[in-house]
Amino acid sequence: MICPYCGPANELVTDPGQRRARFSTDCEICCRPFELRVVWEPGENPVLEVVGF
């Protein structure tokens, strides 16, 4: 996932058994918090969306 503040990619580990999730995380580089929404559809790649920062 890409930080909405500073731009570098950050690693994100999610549970594919949880098809929809919304959670807060901090950027590994600039340490600023933001919220993500993750949606897993069977047979598809996960969709990550920044929903708040």
Report the distance separating Cα 20 and Cα 40, nearest Å. Answer: 6
Task: Give strand pairing partners of 49.
Answer: 37
What is the separation of C-alpha 5 from the centre of its chain, rounded to a whole number of angstroms? 14
Provide the pLDDT for residue 32.
93
pTM higher than the cut 0.75 = no
Q: What is the mean pLDDT of each run of 10 residues along the chain (53 residues)?
A: 86 80 89 90 86 75
Place of tokens 């995380």: 25
